[in-house]
Amino acid sequence: MVYPANDMSNPKTYEQLLRENAELTLRLEEASDTIDAIRTGQVDALVVNDAQAGHQLYTLKTADHSYRLFIEKMNEGALTLNEDGVILYANSKFASMLSATLSDIVGKDFESFVSDDCKPMFREVFDMAWFGDVQIEVKICRNDESVPSQLSLTVLQLDEGPALSVIVTDLTFQKNIQRLLKENNQRLTIANAELEASNHDLQQFASIASHDLQEPLRKILIFANMIRDRHAKDLPPESRKYLDKIISSSQRMRSMASDILNYSGLSTDTQTFDAVDMEAVVAEILDDYELLLQERNAEVTVDALPMIEGNRGQIKQVFQNLISNSIKFSRQDRPAVIRIFCEPSHSAPDDAGGIVFCHIVVADNGIGFEKEYQERIFSLFERLNNKDKYEGSGIGLSITRKIIERHHGKITADSTLGEGARFTISLPVKQPLG
């Protein structure tokens, strides 16, 4: 029905306007019902107006009724294309992806929605898809922007012949995540490089500082000892006490500088592993400490210890630190007892790659420490006791843990205050490859 344009010289009556409005509303409802029927599979045929061939009828097989009901509920866009690439069917998700209506999409050439830079690639894939399933990433045009999308093309059989089923997945979220991951990885790479440079500078500083401190400390100790040896009788008691404190503090500082040098060296030295006889290593240390052990009336028992693969000098330093700690923190009211033994029941393949670990225990009956300090004692410069009563730098156990970790092992501590301490070292018998 055709309605003449409004003519102000011949205005329509109110009743005529109401009838026209009712007819237009009915036509709109019919169009909406038709589109909804096509979308939900209630219509089994579709007429496409082709400018060259005129009106063409396309019918879908009965099985496609359920197919269309299914794809209408999908989170991806779904299309059916004929051999010329014309859109025979589109679900509402694809329409929402383009911010368009179904009437703007159905009957159009799908390539018209593909961005210009992706059209050659799409044509090539469109030709290939008739012979096998294909996936491709293209950009779909939406108003003034493009949507990164993945197309999954597969052949669909219609009564009139084959067509292409196209599933369109919006990749905007994935692309944003990939971009953020790439940016974060770049930031991490920069941060790691800066951290490595900073660590290198700190290690160099620690090494140089501790090395350069040795010489002035050596002179302080030499001159302080000369004063005490040559002029002790001329000094008042209070001055002699102060001089003893200077010598004691200088010795402690020299020990600390040496330990810092050793600690920083652990991060820079190239690690080499050889066969290490731990029984021989412990025997050497006990020989070095013979006089000190006699002075403390200490009893040391050493059970059979295994051969392992490691750095002999560093393994020796571990046992030196642990044994000297046991001597240092022994009780005054009873002789020191130190036991070094291996726990054979645990010398079995571990879960991590079948690596065989040995578990060596260094236990004593010294002053011990409270359980809350089991982890803190391995921190740099951590001291649980008065530095005037128990000498040391507070770095020894930190060095011990770092050496053990560089040997792919671990060390744990267990103690009860007043009842001694027990350190358990877990080391691989053979170092893992790589």
- Domain ranges (residues) in the chain: 14-170, 177-269, 270-434
Report d(CA 85, CA 382) in Å as an integer. 75
Average predicted confidence (pLDDT) for the chain: 77
Task: Write down the CATH superfamily of domain 14-170.
Answer: PAS domain (3.30.450.20)
Q: Give 201 or 242, the one with higher predicted confidence.
A: 242
Q: 125 with 134: CB under 8 angstroms?
A: yes
CA 333 → CA 109, 195, 365, 368, 369, distances in Å?
98, 49, 11, 14, 17
Q: Give 379 or 397, the one with higher predicted confidence.
A: 397
Q: Give 415 or 26, the one with higher predicted confidence.
A: 415
Of the listed ranges 8-22, 40-54, 338-352, the one predicted with least confidence: 40-54
pLDDT tens string 112-168 = 899 999 999 999 999 998 998 888 889 988 888 888 988 989 888 776 778 888 888
**Where does the pLDDT of residue 212 fall: very low under 50, low under 70, confident under 90, or very high at 90 and above?**
low
Element (H, E) at 241: helix 237-268
Mean pLDDT (whole number) for 375-391: 57
Q: What is the pLDDT of residue 362?
A: 92
Q: What is the pLDDT of residue 57?
A: 52
**For domain 270-434, which CATH number applies: 3.40.50.2300, 3.40.50.300, 3.30.565.10, 3.90.1170.50?**
3.30.565.10
Which pTM does this prediction carry?
0.45
Q: What is the dihedral of CA 30, 31, 35, 36, to 10 degrees?
A: -40
pLDDT tens string 37-94 = 555 555 555 555 555 555 555 555 544 555 566 666 677 888 888 888 998 888 888 8
Give the number of residues written for the chain. Answer: 434
Q: Give 10 or 154, the one with higher predicted confidence.
A: 154
CA 399 → CA 35, 194, 384, 421, 431, distances in Å?
77, 25, 17, 18, 20
> Structure tokens of 73?
């509920």
Report d(CA 35, CA 46) in Å as an integer. 11
Q: What is the pLDDT of residue 327?
A: 87
**Where does the pLDDT of residue 424 fall: very low under 50, low under 70, confident under 90, or very high at 90 and above?**
very high
Per DSSP (E only), the strands in 112-255 are 134-142, 145-158, 161-170
Q: What is the pLDDT of residue 341?
A: 92
Q: What is the pLDDT of residue 40?
A: 55
Q: What is the pLDDT of residue 3?
A: 41
State yes or no: pLDDT of 339 exceeds 90.
yes
pLDDT tens string 355-368 = 788 999 999 988 88
Among 110, 102, 107, 111, residue whose Cα is nearest residue 48: 107
> Using CA of residue 304, residue 309, residue 313, residue 319, what is the dihedral sign?
negative
State yes or no: pLDDT of 238 exceeds 50.
yes
Q: Give 213 or 290, the one with higher predicted confidence.
A: 290
Which range of 83-87, 258-262, 341-345, 413-417 scores highest in mean pLDDT? It is: 83-87
DSSP 302-355: E----EEEE-HHHHHHHHHHHHHHHHHT--TTS--EEEEEE-GGG-SB-TTTT-
Mean pLDDT (whole number) for 180-186: 88
Q: 179 with 233: CB under 8 angstroms?
A: no
What is the Cα gyration radius of the chain? 42
Which range of 85-89, 194-198, 200-204 scores highest in mean pLDDT? It is: 85-89
SS3 277: strand
Fold classification of 177-269 (topology level): Helix Hairpins (1.10.287)
Query: Which are the contacts of 114, defined by CB distance < 8 A and separation ≥ 6?
Result: 122, 138, 139, 140, 141
Which range of 4-18, 235-249, 275-289, 345-359 scores highest in mean pLDDT? It is: 275-289
Kind of pairing between the strands at 77-81 and 87-90: antiparallel
Kind of pairing between the strands at 410-415 and 307-310: unpaired
Q: What is the pLDDT of residue 246?
A: 84
Query: Which are the contacts of 277, defined by CB distance < 8 A and separation ≥ 6?
Result: 307
**Where does the pLDDT of residue 312 fall: very low under 50, low under 70, confident under 90, or very high at 90 and above?**
confident
